[in-house]
Structure 1
Amino acid sequence: MQTEKVVNHIVSWLKDYALNAKVNGFVIGISGGIDSAVTSILCAKTGLDVLCLEMPIHQAKSHVTRGQEHISFLKSKYKNVSDIKTDLTPVFEEFKTEVSLEGDQAIVDMALANTRARLRMTTLYYYAGLKKLLVAGTGNKVEDFGVGFYTKYGDGGVDLSPIADLMKTEVYLLAETLQVPESIMKAAPSDGLFGDARSDEEQIGASYPELEWAMKMVELNKTEDLFEGRQKEVFRIYKRLNNSNKHKMNPIPICMIPNNLK
């Protein structure tokens, strides 16, 4: 991949979009992960205002440390970058006092994990409205259009997606060119929605390179019977997640009313 040309293309696209929208720049949630690191640098390179938000909710210390390191790195290189820390832990805890937490614990935990992402989305849009900014998404191609590994109306609720046509491995290539801090480059990808450092691979059951392979196989119309062992297992994981998360990746279904009923 021609990383420098890809960087220039995305930066130009971001700047043109923001200027046409007549906004001041971008707001982005900083997680301490590779995707938000790359996206925030791309936004910063436009020269427009970039607001980085820390939004911890019982966050793993390693995530917080990496996020703060990246923000410091950004501010040292780009004068158009500012940051705000909004601790959403008290908001999250208050929310829990007002809803039912009864039922299967795994289901409750997942609902609460998605709630964290939606609280962050609300915060991003608050500052976006306050400062006339666009919410920049951090999803990559395999997450957004392969396995749907994001929260609907959470981290999936954005104004534009600069890296959504790049595979995770391609995001890492851009990260090298953009000189993302080494601590972030080496960290295992994690969504940070459970208050610990569990990795994406632990949750999904497959690594990003494996998922990218499976996504390519599906695009080539390959079928499960062509594979054995680990490849067959990964293919099944990909297909299961792709099918179950279609509701995130497809447009919202609309009930069309026949003309003769109007």
Structure 2
Amino acid sequence: MVDDLAKKIESWLRQQMIDRGARGLVVGLSGGIDSAVTAALCINACPDNTLGLIMPCHSDPRDAEHAVLLAEKIGLGYKTVVLDEIFSQMVVMLTGEEYDPGQKDLSVVNIKPRLRMTTLYFHSSRRRSLVVGTSNLCETTVGYSTKYGDGGADLLPIANLVKAEVRELARHLGVPREIIEKPPSAGLWHGHDDEKELGVTYDQLDRYLLTGQADEKVKEIIDELAVNNLHKKQMPAIPPQY
């Protein structure tokens, strides 16, 4: 069943390339499980022209190490683009202050994924390739992404999969155990923990999305996140023709 799912997604990726006249795929390698699964699907779908980009930006060094580990395990060509300096310069330019690695100001830390999006599209344009996003169903449902950052992509191949399904697919695709078992983190600040920021666990999200069942408090948090972040899934509003 898992093998069949992987093959269907890989076939879908190939068809998307044909439909859009693309020569290849470009995917960001964060060192996490979602990007690992996405990258493995991409290299299987397009073994001759898939590029992985490792883009540390004041990041935990282990993330880049895990990204390299994954790329070498699945035979994925990759480039590393260090964004520390340009990010720091932008923070000073915009705020007048030096970057504090512990700060949680979203207006500042969301610059990181937006710089990564710019980097991905630079390479995709040069290679006539599609940018492949890594969001799963839990994230797309509650809008857990940065608008025009990691939310900016041409394809979202695992956006119909809850976290448990992503883990199952990761094991099937040979993703290293260190990546499968590491705590989920968007890495926007030092010590960033996805589940703490969301206020719910991925297991709770999975259960609610698959069965509709959850404690009332969990339901309330998930539903509120989904409503508040709905704008991330919508196209820019256009007035009627007057």
TM-score, scaled to structure 1: 0.85
The match for 1:182 is: 177
1:139 touches 1:163 (CA, 8 Å); kept in 2?
A: yes
Give distance in 2, aligned partners of 1:241 and 1:34. Answer: 23
The match for 1:203 is: 197
**Pair 1:29-2:23 in alignment:** no
The match for 1:169 is: 164
* Superposition RMSD in Å: 2.0
**Pair 1:130-2:126 in alignment:** yes
Give distance in 2, aligned partners of 1:212 and 1:36. Answer: 18
How far is the alpha carbon of 1:107 from its aligned partner?
A: 9.0
1:175 touches 1:185 (CA, 8 Å); kept in 2?
A: yes
Give distance in 2, aligned partners of 1:253 and 1:211. Answer: 29
**Pair 1:66-2:77 in alignment:** no
The match for 2:113 is: 117
How far is the alpha carbon of 1:66 from its aligned partner?
A: 1.1
The match for 1:82 is: 77
Give distance in 2, aligned partners of 1:40 and 1:108. Answer: 29
Give distance in 2, aligned partners of 1:124 and 1:156. Answer: 12
The match for 2:3 is: 4
Q: Identity of counterpart residues, as a percentage?
A: 34
The match for 2:135 is: 139
Give distance in 1, aligned partners of 2:206 and 2:27. Answer: 25
**Pair 1:246-2:224 in alignment:** no
1:24 touches 1:48 (CA, 8 Å); kept in 2?
A: no
How far is the alpha carbon of 1:101 from its aligned partner?
A: 5.4
Match of 1:236 among 196, 213, 220: 220
Q: Greater shift after overlay, 237-246 or 5-14?
A: 237-246
Give distance in 2, aligned partners of 1:199 and 1:109. Answer: 15
TM-score, scaled to structure 2: 0.92
Larger Rg: 1
How far is the alpha carbon of 1:115 from its aligned partner?
A: 0.8
Give distance in 2, aligned partners of 1:99 and 1:200. Answer: 26
The match for 1:43 is: 42
Give distance in 2, aligned partners of 1:214 and 1:114. Answer: 28
In the alignment, residue 55 of structure 2 is paired with which amino acid?
A: M
The match for 2:154 is: 159
The alignment partner of 1:27 has SS state of: strand
1:114 touches 1:193 (CA, 8 Å); kept in 2?
A: yes
Give distance in 2, aligned partners of 1:101 and 1:237. Answer: 35
How far is the alpha carbon of 1:70 from its aligned partner?
A: 0.9
Query: 1:22-66: per-residue Cα shift (whole Å, max 9, x none)?
Result: 222111110010000000000000134111101001101221221
How far is the alpha carbon of 1:108 from its aligned partner?
A: 6.9
1:26 touches 1:48 (CA, 8 Å); kept in 2?
A: no
In the alignment, residue 215 of structure 1 is paired with which amino acid?
A: L
Query: 1:147-183: per-residue Cα shift (whole Å, max 9, x none)?
Result: 1000010001001111111111111111111111000
